[in-house]
Amino acid sequence: MPTALAPSPSPVPAPPAGDETPPAIRPEPAVRRAIYRDMVLTRAFDQAATALQRQGELALWAPSLGQEAAQVGSAHALGEEDWVFPSYREHGVLQSRGVDLKQLLPLFRGADNGGWDSEAHRVHLYTLVVGAQTLPAVGYAMGLALDGAAGAVVVYLGDGATSQGEVSEALVWAASCAAPVLFFVQNNGWAISTPTRTQARVALARRGEGFGVPGVAVDGNDADACWAATAAALGRIKAGQGPQLIEALTYRLGPHTTSDDPSRYRPAEEEASWMARDPIPRLRAGLEEDGQADADFFAEVDSAAAALAAESRRSCLGIEPPDLSTCFDWVYGTEHSLVAEERAGVAGR
Amino acid sequence: MTAAVFAPTGAEAAAPAAQVGLGQAINQALAAELAADEKVLVMGEDVGALGGVFRVTAGLRERFGTDRVRDTPLGEAGIVGTAIGLALRGYRPVCEIQFDGFVFPAFSQITTQLAKLRARSGGRLSLPVTIRIPYGGRIGAVEHHSESPEALFAHTAGLRLVSPSNSQDAYDITRAAIACPDPVIVFEPKGLYWSKGQVAEPPDGAAPDLSVLNRARVARRAGETGGGQVTLAAYGPSVPQALAAAERLAEDGVESEVLDLRAISPIDFDAIAESVARTGRLVVVHEAPVFFGAGAEIAARVTERCFYLLEAPVLRVGGYHLPYPPALIEHDYLPGPERIVAAVRRALDF
Ligand SMILES: Cc1ncc(C[n+]2csc(CCOP(=O)(O)OP(=O)(O)O)c2C)c(N)n1
């Protein structure tokens, strides 16, 4: 068989191998509990949002189901001074950075374009153009370096995004400028219906090597390991050793978005095998085994999650569409005669 | 020398306006902004040691250092994309795209990110990014080195587009673009880089006047009384062509007014309407293809605003619906005085 288009050793995340290197360092018990809490809250919010979409209250929803460990585990390794440049599915990262997840709802309801206060939590806006956030992330990291600031940037992207030319450019720039940036690739197996092997014939952990950006793979369903790998990478980056890449091997348990139908392309057994590696019960078992959390803790987390879901629902139903005339207000920072003329026309209708 | 009579005297005496090339004027403007604000950065392919392929950034690296005048890797999306991040961090990057035909790899960053982040963030995010693009023909260049892609960007809200046609405007526009809180694309008429003109620099510390990013300029008044039979509206490389056409028309007794639009987004329709009120006819000139070009927008708007003032339909002179032709025949493609004069004659015949 000609090799050019032959299936390669699959870089799609492998089912449980059981031989992952245990992380050299572990989060402190309090951090581990905070990670667990944010994972559960993220899931509750995610499920509420999925339900809201099914009921016609949101135009679309991109679930983070199954990716909570990769997102929350990594995000808890960031310091105050660090910055996040997310894609469009990083709900767990936002929750970990203290962004009120309810602020995501207007974007997906069609009431705004997703403009929370990015400075407040050092989380840039979601980007719906796949891979486009990586270059601004590197530029921001260049700015941090020019300022002599302490922080680093973590840019989140998917396995599909790695095929975008802009992501290759971002790797070139990051290496060339020795920018303090971490590329955190969540390899969740699929880009809509396209499996990772269509994007990459070599493990994505190695994608940066030729650019001068070293990478590691980590079990993306192991929150401790995601935290440890991110903490270690940020330590090296902040010590001036240049950019890094992490490939978190995880799985998108739900559909790509609520418009997707994974049953058309994805084997049910594959989903089931990953269901068995659900990162939330896994961390809970770890906390229990190590005696780091008790029943009261889990009960408190569950009730906080239920409250967030209920609140999100209430908040979503209360979102009103904006007045079209207000949309003219922020296109430019200075007066633009065309905008002024059209704004006046709309107001006078 | 009469100029001395009007020159200020004593301590405020400004340096007498020197004759400098348009490209050199941009260099001076970049130097002025780099000196005035340490957040200003110049970045692009070969902008450092070489000073850019047109030498517009010559000498800046020596003066301001490699951190502030950065040679980037060869990637246009990277240049604009990282400039966005730098702007989010409080810098004011000035990106050079080496040639017009090579801006397209950056198109997505410009239109999906740069143009939209202010609006998306409800005004919280400001992106003072300047993108300089040497554009247009008449330098006998090979493929992809002579194009006029401005209409492709003018269609996107959130961007400002300008194009100077003389040294003073090039200086003022460049400084204003860098000072402006909005993203500005400066289409630099590369065929005019070497054309000389006076540049008066404002006193040190004077803030740039942002109105040059919005306002047209009357480049030629029609006759002593201000009357005339036609307005020629042009920008960038077409302004000298329109002026040359106006000279020829004058020889035949046809008085025309030439408007240098300077700004392509927004377009100064008030200035056009005022001129049309004086002349009753309008011919728009640009190098870009006429089809869906800036001239189409101007014709439509002027027809709406000035229907009863017009003696003839608004006519357009520009490039054809062709890929930019081989340079040996570019003069047949580009609107020069002859085609402009012919359009005016058509307008006069209505
Ligand atoms: C530039 C661009 N092309 C196509 C799309 C449509 N699209 C949205 S998400 C997606 C798949 C992305 O996959 P991946 O990067 O792996 O991230 P995931 O959604 O799996 O988290 C596609 C093709 C897009 N949003 N942007």
- Residue to mutate among B67, B112, B121, B180, with most A CBs inside 10 A, is B121
Of B90, B181, B270, Cβ closest to residue A143: B90
What average pLDDT does range B328-348 have in this prediction? 97
- Radius of gyration in angstroms for the set of CA atoms belonging to chain B, rounded to a whole number: 20
CA pseudo-torsion sign A209, A214, A217, A221 = negative
pLDDT tops 70 at residue B260: yes
CA A295 to chain centre: 29
- Let me know the angle formed at the C-alpha of A83 by A81 and A84, rounded to the nearest 5 degrees: 150
Task: State if residue A89 touches ligand 1 by the CB under 6 angstroms criterion.
Answer: yes
3-class state of residue A186 by DSSP? strand
Dist. CA B32–CA A334, nearest whole Å: 22
Active-site residue (options: B145, B155, B286, B331): B145
User: Is residue A306 lining ligand 1, measured as CB closer than 6 Å?
Assistant: no
- E-strand stretches of A39-108: 83-85
pLDDT above 70: residue A5: no
Instruction: Please give the pLDDT value at position B222.
Output: 84
How many residue pairs bridge chain A and chain B with CB atoms within 8 Å of each other? 145
- Asked if B85 lies within 8 A of A146 by C-beta distance, the reply is no
Q: Three-state SS across B65-104?
A: CCCCEEECCCCHHHHHHHHHHHHHCCCEEEEECCCHHHCH
Inter-chain CB proximity B72 and A124 less than 8 Å? no
Burial A16-48 (b: 16+ CB within 10 A, else e): eeeeeeebeebbeeebbbebbbbbbbbbbbbbb
Burial class (CB in 10 A: 0-12, 13-18, 19+), B311: middle
Q: Which pTM was predicted? A: 0.93
β-pair partners for B230: B256
Q: Is B40 on the interface with A (CB under 8 A)?
A: no
Q: What are phi and psi of B224, to 5 degrees?
A: -65, -35
Average pLDDT (A28-50) is 98
**B163 and B217 Cβ atoms separated by less than 8 Å:** no
Residue A82 CB–ligand 1 contact under 6 Å: no
Chosen from B79, B80, B89 to mutate, greatest number of chain A CBs within 10 A: B89
Q: Vertex A85, ends A203 and B80: CA angle to 5°?
A: 95
Task: Please tell me the predicted confidence (pLDDT) of residue A177.
Answer: 96
| CB within 8 Å: A140 and B89 | yes
Q: For strands B196-199 and B18-21, give the pairing.
A: antiparallel
What's the rounded mean pLDDT across residues A171-191? 98
pLDDT digits (tens, 9 = 90+) for B125-158: 999 999 999 999 999 999 999 999 999 999 999 9
Ligand 1 contact, A124 CB (< 6 A) = no
* pLDDT tens string B161-214: 999 999 999 999 999 999 999 999 999 999 999 999 999 988 888 899 999 999
Which residue among B75, B85, B122 sits closest to A169, beta carbon to beta carbon? B75
Catalytic residue numbers of A read: 252, 256, 265
Please report, in angstroms and rounded to a whole number, the separation of the first and last CA atoms in chain A: 67
User: What's residue B16's pLDDT?
Assistant: 63
Q: Is B184 in the A-facing interface, judged by CB distances under 8 Å?
A: no
- Whose CA is closest to B63, among B45, B48, B84, B81? B48
| Burial per residue of A149-187, b for 16 or more beta-carbon CB atoms within 10 angstroms, e otherwise | eebbbbbbbbbbbbbbebbbbbbbbbbbbbbbbbbbbbb
State how far residue A167 is from chain B, nearest Cα, in angstroms: 9
Helix (H, G, I), strand (E, B) or coil at B214: coil
Q: In this model, does residue A108 exceed pLDDT 80?
A: yes
For B190, phi and psi rounded to 5 degrees? -65, -25
pLDDT given at position A91: 98
Q: Are A245 and A185 in contact (CB under 8 A)?
A: yes
